Chain A
Amino acid sequence: MKTIYLDNNATTQVAQEVMEEMLPYFREYYGNPSSAHTFGGQVGKKIRAAREKVALLLGADPEEIIFTSCGSESDNAAIRSVLELKPEKRHIITSRVEHPAIKSLCEHLAAQGYRVTEIPVDSEGHLDMSRYEESLTPDTAIVTIMWGNNETGVIFPVEQAAALAREKGVLFHSDAVQAAGKIPINMKESNIDMLSLSGHKLHASKGVGVIYVRKGVKFTPFIIGGHQEMGRRGGTENTAGIIGLGKACELAVKKLEEENTRVKSLRDKLEAEILHRVPNTRVNGGKSERLPNTTNISFEFIEGEAILLQMDELGICASSGSACTSGSLQPSHVLRAMGVPFTMAHGSIRFSLSVYNTEEEIDFIVEELPPIIQKLRSFSPYWEKGKGVCATR
């Protein structure tokens, strides 16, 4: 059975070009970049080149790039560095719809005594900017607000938010794990101070990430060790991973346009066809500015995990914000923050595309999904009762 992969916000395939770039650094050039000999030193040069390529994607200077092991490490390192360097400030601002890497970290910090303000969103996923502005205080150490939402693809006005933070002298961090490579980023013309990136979301390998730290912003390492990354992140470099990430960023620059034209039109087609063919559906955050590859569709009166497993039988990979999928008993915190009704939230499916998806794949899903929905609805006690009527307690 052919796999149709539309779960690229979870992880992506390593690009062929990226893998070819990585392979020699496992068996041939396995030296340690910190070594004094040429054998190791040549790897150091490749890492420098990779740093330049990452900087190019972000419109940053190479010295502003620190390699880490993943997006979550980048998030932790950025926020904890700021808090450590500003111990007198005890307030953090974030949004209600962050990725667990930020959400759990903020909850952890709240338990340690930090005051955390979560900025709410409206039903379309828009950030409450006036609430945000009011929340900035002299006690605020850092703002951390994601760029593009991993579940709905909704893009936050991070530039505007960062400018407001700068006016008040507050540092601004953004989790750009989903945004990087999908929408243009130019740190030269930005007010954002710190940014997190993850390799495996843009066709590099798992186990490599990036923190961008603006020149002049003080930084103290999260992982204390050797002098790697100019003393900002201890630990021997994931050489192959970093070199692969450099290549992936180079490809992302080239493919940014394709993401926003061909991939976007495939996403739009998938969305429009499903909405047209299946009644009682809605796109969560559909009226907002969104990442070009993501759509989050709710199918009323049925449950997401059941849809996923039916699609799985056909080789279609997607994900769901339903409670059953996550292992918790509540549906996605993102959809709840947007006030998506329970009748819709439990039946939400996220499709996230990449440049490797084809029109044939979209056509296949558009043909195969409606009967699945119809079948599951035929099992549901709520379906026959009439549309829009929900029997809650």
Chain B
Amino acid sequence: MWEYTDKVKEHFLNPKNVGVVEDAQGVAEVGSMACGDALKLSFKTDDAGKITDARFQTFGCASAIASSSALTEMIKGKTIEEAEKISNQDIADYLGGLPKEKMHCSVLGQQALEKAIANYRGEKIQEKEGEIVCECFGITDREIEKAVRENNLSTVEEVTNYTKAGGGCENCHDAIRGIIADVRAEEKPVSRPQLSNIRKMKMIDETIENEIRPSLKKDGGNIELVDVIGNRVLVKLQGSCAMCKASQQTLKNFVEAKLKEMVWPELVVEEVTQ
């Protein structure tokens, strides 16, 4: 059984603001029945741009209903500019915390809010920005990047807890690892001291050994460092990686991203086949 806070239970058993706002100025729907949760949010404002009424309809578990109820309570009385600043963590905090496996419920609330505000402003909302990474739950790279950045996530499991991505067939786990590495890389300070060639090679070797190989081995693959020429890192993929259709993606999104992060931002990974 999930351990919910009293606040979650309160908002689940007696949710506030269920329904649809009449003459709503901002409306949004996120999620789907296939995913297991969906939320429809609507609100309206007064002349000063303050949210006077907000309502929700939610299909989902207790924490999804509680997150929706909390969201409507949080935005009522706020200006659009104030409401816009609410993050998924704020929703979870309002509820006294959510089990980590349920954080995606707060993300759903934040997504609905963002989309409803865009709708209010008459901004054209692209149905889905970015490319779908997780086919099972239809989650894009942009959504994953955002969750990783805002919640400081570092593992695939955490990404699944927050976005559901990777929770189905697990084929996208490599791609998710790549996205995590990219986000982490951009957070690193840009200025780095020059590296000697010997030091660079040693660091590449260590990074492959400690950071890359263990992940590949988990999926039955392996990697061999063949040579380093300037910033070109030549590698050979082995085991299941060698046969994998997604190996190019693994090479760029994961191996190269990791090396760029840990060793040198200008490294380029190339596959040697023979």
Contact = CB atoms under 8 A, between A and B. Distances in A.
Contacts of B164: 329
B34 A393 contact: yes
Contact of A309 (B34, B62, B101): B62
Contact of A330 (B12, B18, B40, B167): B167
A328 B64 CA distance: 15
B168 interface: yes
A310 interface: yes
Contact of B38 (A329, A382, A384): A382
A329 B105 CA distance: 12
A75 interface: no
Interface string B1-40: 0100000010011010010000000000100111011111
Nearest to A313: B13
Contacts of B60: 303, 306, 324
A331 interface: yes
Interface in A38-63: none
B61 A306 contact: yes
Task: Determine which residue in B18, B36, B58, B164 has the highest number of CB atoms from chain A within 10 A of its CB, and name it.
Answer: B36
B253 interface: no
A379 interface: yes
Given A329-B167, A391-B33, A380 B13 contact: no
Contact of B12 (A304, A309, A331, A392): A309
B32 A303 contact: no
Contacts of A392: 32-34
Nearest to A380: B59
Given A309-B12, A378-B18, A327 B101 contact: yes
A346 B13 contact: no
B168 A329 contact: yes
Interface in B77-116: 101-102
Task: Determine which residue in B2, B34, B58, B160 has the highest number of CB atoms from chain A within 10 A of its CB, and name it.
Answer: B34
Given A378-B18, A379-B18, A306 B34 contact: no
Contacts of B137: 329
A343 interface: yes
A305 B13 contact: no
Given A305-B61, A306-B62, A380-B59, A343 B15 contact: no
B59 A301 contact: yes
B65 interface: yes
A322 interface: yes
A305 B65 CA distance: 11
Contacts of A325: 61
B167 A331 contact: no
Given A309-B12, A310-B13, A379-B15, A331 B36 contact: yes
Contacts of A309: 9, 12, 62
Nearest to A300: B33
Interface residues of A, number: 31
Interface in A183-230: none
Interface string B149-180: 00000000000100010011000000000000
Given A301-B59, A306-B12, A346-B33, A393 B138 contact: yes
A323 interface: yes
A380 B36 CA distance: 12
Interface string B50-66: 00000011111110110
B40 A381 contact: yes
B61 A303 contact: yes
A240 interface: no
B68 to A, nearest CB: 8
Interface in A334-363: 342-343, 346
Contacts of B37: 303
Contacts of A313: 13
Contacts of A379: 15, 18, 56-59, 65
A302 interface: yes
Contact of B29 (A301, A304, A381, A390): A381
B65 A306 contact: yes
A380 B58 contact: yes
Contact of A322 (B29, B61, B102): B61
A305 B38 CA distance: 15
Contacts of A331: 36
B164 to A, nearest CB: 5
Task: Determine which residue in A305, A313, A322 has the highest number of CB atoms from chain B within 10 A of its CB, and name it.
Answer: A305
A303 B59 contact: yes
B18 A342 contact: no
A303 B64 contact: yes
Interface in A64-122: none
Nearest to A327: B101
Interface in A301-321: 301-306, 309-310, 313
B170 to A, nearest CB: 11
A110 to B, nearest CB: 13
Contact of A323 (B9, B15, B36): B36
A392 B59 CA distance: 12
A262 B210 CA distance: 63
25 contacts: A302-B59, A303-B36, A303-B60, A303-B64, A306-B65, A313-B13, A322-B36, A329-B36, A329-B136, A329-B167, A343-B33, A346-B33, A379-B15, A379-B18, A379-B59, A380-B58, A381-B39, A381-B40, A381-B58, A381-B59, A382-B38, A384-B57, A391-B32, A391-B33, A392-B33
Interface of A: 301-306, 309-310, 313, 322-325, 327-331, 342-343, 346, 378-382, 384, 390-393
Given A322-B61, A379-B18, 13 more contacts: A302-B59, A303-B36, A303-B60, A303-B61, A305-B62, A309-B12, A322-B36, A323-B36, A324-B102, A329-B137, A342-B34, A379-B65, A380-B57
Shortest 8 CB-CB contacts between residues of A and residues of B: A329-B167, A324-B61, A381-B57, A305-B61, A381-B40, A380-B59, A342-B34, A392-B34
